[in-house]
Amino acid sequence: MKAKISIDKNSIISKIDNRIYGSFIEHLGRAVYNGIYEPTHPLADESGWRRDVLELVKELKCPLVRYPGGNFVSGYNWEDGIGDKSKRPKKLELAWLSIETNQVGIDEFQDWARLAGTELMMAVNLGTRGPNEARELIEYCNGETDTHFANLRRKNGFEKPFNIKLWCLGNEMDGDWQICHKTAEEYGRIATETAKVLKWVDPTIELVACGSSDPNMPTYGEWERTVLDHTYDYVDYLSLHCYYGNKANDTKNFLARAEDMDRFIKRTAAICDEIKAKKGSDKTVNLSFDEWNVWYRTKDEEKTAERWQIAPHLLEEKYNLEDALLVGCMLSTLQNNSDRVKIGCLAQLVNVIAPIMTENGGKAWKQTIFYPYMYSSLYGRGSALNLKCHSESYKSNEGWDIPYLCSSAVINEDEDRITVFATNRSLDSDMELSLCGIDGYTLKEHIELYCDDIKAENSVDCEAISPKKREIIHTSPAILKKHSWNMLVFEK
C-alpha cells in the first residue's frame, strides 16, 4: 500500500502546550501505595518514594500530573493527609471500596512531583464538599499570608508555598457513579462559586470545569452548555474524558477510535464557542483532555474485588501492541487539535491503567503504551503542522472513512527538527510512505514499534514490545510495517 504526507513547515496548527503530555495519579489501587510510594522497598528513598519508579517517570518527561483523583477526590478530605503521619486517620474510601491510610497527602505528593520534575494539577472535592474546603486547601497550598492555613503548611515544614497553578473543579460530576453526583445546574452553580473563591485567594491560577466523562453520556452536549452558561466567565478550560476498548476483538474498529476522539474534541470546542458567542465574550475557553487511555479489561473491577483492602490490585490493565497503536493515534489526535487542547492527561501513570507497572517489593517495568507516550512527549514539543495526507481508507462500524495512515507532525524550530508520528492501521499490508515538502531535511532516525503478534504484551520479565531503530537508507519513502507505530525524525 502507498501513502503520502505533504508537509508545509509554514502551515502551523498551533504551538503545542507541553501540558498535553501530562498524566494522572489517583489514590486508587496500587498507584500511590506500592506504586510510587513503598517505604519498605529496597530502592525506596528516605521519604518512601521508589527511586526506580521515579526514574521511569523521568524518562517520560511528564510535564504535569493530575492528583488526587479521579472519583477518589469526590469523597476526599485533604486535611486527613497532612501533619504527623502516625496520627492520620485510616478511612473507608467509597469510590473504589478500599481503605485509605492517608500516609501520602498533598505535602508528600508535591515533594514527589518536584523529584519527578513535573507540575501538579490539583483537583478539589465538589462531591461531599464545596467552596469552603476548596478555599482552605488553596490557602494551605499557595498562601503567602500570615493566616491559619498558610501557617499550618509552614508548621508542617513547608515555608514556601507549593504554588500549584492548575486546579480542577471536581471530577466527572455528570456520572451517577460519582460520590454526590450532580445535575448540570447543580454542578454549574457550585463550580462557579468555588471558582470565585479559588481565584480570590490566588488570582494567578487556572481552572478546569468538568465536561462530560464520555462522549456517549446521554447528557453530553447539554451538560457542557448548562455548565458553561454558569461558569464561562470564571474558568479557563473545560474537561473531556474518554477511554476506549476492544471488547469485541474488532481491531480495525478499535484503531478507528482515534477519529472518535477527534470528533469529540471538535464538537466540544464548538460548544465552547457557541456559549462564547451567546455571551458575546472575548474570552476563549480551551480544552483539558484530562483523562484518556485504553481501558476495558478491568472496568468495574472494584465491584467484584474484595472490599476494604489497602492498596488492592485494581485496574491493572495489561497492554498489548494494538493498545499501544491506539495510544499513539490518540497522541497524534491531541497534537492535531493543539489549537484547542492545551492539557492532556494519560490516565493513569503507575499500576492503574498505566504505562509503568511495579511488583510489590520487586521490579518496575514498562508496558507497551509507555513508548508512544514517551517519544511523543520527548519529540512532540514545538508547533503542530497541518499535514496533507493521502492514504487508502476503510470503513469503521459507524460507516466513517478511516485512513490506514494516522499521522501528525511537529516542528521544533530551536532544534531545526521536524518529527512525524505515523501509525499504519492496516492489519495485513506494509505501507510505503512518501514525504514531500521537507527539502533540506534528512531522515536522522526511524523508531518503530512493531511485532508480528498484535496481541503481544510486555511483562515484568519479558519486554516483547520495545522500540527498534530502523536502518535508514534514504529520506523518503519510508516503509511502515503493517500494524506499526513509527516516529520519523528529520533534521537539517
Helix-strand-coil split of the chain, %, nearest 5: 30, 30, 40
Q: Is 172 a catalytic residue?
A: yes
Asked if 172 touches ligand AHR (CB under 6 A), the answer is yes
Beta carbon nearer to ligand AHR, 246 or 348: 348
Among 25, 347, 480, 488, binds ligand AHR (CB under 6 A): 347
Q: Does 70 bind ligand AHR (CB under 6 A)?
A: yes
Interface pattern 417-456 for ligand AHR (x via CB under 6 A): ----------------------------------------
Residues between 107 and 166 with contacts to ligand AHR, criterion CB under 6 A: none
317 binds ligand AHR (CB under 6 A): no
Burial class (CB in 10 A: 0-12, 13-18, 19+), 206: middle
CB distance 108 to 38 below 8 Å: no
171 binds ligand AHR (CB under 6 A): yes
- DSSP structure string for 63-85: -EEEES-SGGGGG--GGGGSS-G
Asked if 290 touches ligand AHR (CB under 6 A), the answer is no
Per CB under 6 A, contacts with ligand AHR among 213-232 are: 213
Among the listed residues 245, 183, 249, the one whose alpha carbon sits nearest the alpha carbon of residue 218: 183
Nearer CB in complex with ligand AHR: 26/133: 26
Query: In sequence order, what are the residues at sequence separation of 6 or more whose Cβ sits closer than 8 angstroms to the Cβ of residue 408?
Result: 331, 332, 333, 335, 336, 380, 384, 385, 387, 420, 421
Q: How many CA atoms lie within 13 A of 196 on its CB side?
A: 10
Q: Which stretch binds ligand AHR (CB under 6 A): 68-76, 108-116, 182-190, 432-440?
A: 68-76
Which of 71/484 has CB closer to ligand AHR?
71
Q: Which of 348, 383, 419, 458 binds ligand AHR (CB under 6 A)?
A: 348
291 is catalytic: yes
The C-alpha cell that represents 353 in the structure block = 491503567
Helices marked H in 94-182: 106-116, 131-142, 148-155
For ligand AHR, which stretch binds (CB under 6 A), given 15-23, 65-73, 144-152, 231-239?
A: 65-73
Residue (262 or 291) nearer to ligand AHR, CB:
291
Question: Closest Cα to residue 409, out of 485, 336, 492, 334?
Answer: 336
Residue 416: alpha-carbon gap to chain centroid: 28
26/457 with CB nearer ligand AHR: 26
The span of 63-71, 180-188, 266-274, 335-343 binding ligand AHR (CB under 6 A) equals 63-71
Options 26, 79, 172, 317, the catalytic residue: 172
Burial class (CB in 10 A: 0-12, 13-18, 19+), 151: middle
Q: What angle do CA 146, 147, 148 make, to 5 degrees?
A: 135
> In the window 9-48, what residues touch ligand AHR (CB under 6 A)?
26
Q: Which is nearer to ligand AHR, 26 or 139 (CB)?
A: 26
Which residues partner with 350 through β-bridges?
356
In angstroms, give the least distance from the CB of 106 to ligand AHR: 18
**Interface with ligand AHR, residue 211, by CB under 6 A:** no
Q: CA 26 from chain center: how many Å?
A: 12
All cell numbers assigned to 259: 477519529
Which residue among 193, 291, 317, 448 is the active-site one?
291
Position of minimal CB gap to ligand AHR: 70
How far is 411 from 381, CA to CA, in rounded Å?
8
Which residues bind to ligand AHR, rule: CB under 6 A? Answer: 26, 69-71, 171-172, 213, 291, 347-348
Residues assigned a catalytic role: 172, 291
